Amino acid sequence: MKKHWYDNLWVLSLTYLVLGFFNILFAWLGLLCFFIPLIISLAKGNKGYCNRYCGRGQLFGLLGGRFGLSRKRDIPAWMKSKAFRYGFLAFFLIMFCQMLWSTWLVFSGAQDLRQVVTLLWTFKLPWHWAYHGTVLHPGAAQFAFGFYSVMLTSTVLGFVTMVLFKPRSWCVYCPMGTMTQLICKAKQKKP
Q: Which ranges of the chain have pLDDT less than 70?
A: 1, 191
Which residue range is the domain that position 53 belongs to? 5-189
DSSP state of 27: G
| pLDDT at residue 18, rounded to an integer | 97
- Three-class secondary structure of residue 50 per DSSP: helix
DSSP string across 124-175: EEE-GGG----SS-HHHHHHHHHHHHHHHHHHHHHHHHHHHS-TTTHHHH-H
Q: Per-residue pLDDT tens for 165-184?
A: 999 999 999 999 999 999 99
| pLDDT at residue 134, rounded to an integer | 86
| pLDDT at residue 189, rounded to an integer | 81
Number of structural domains the chain divides into: 1
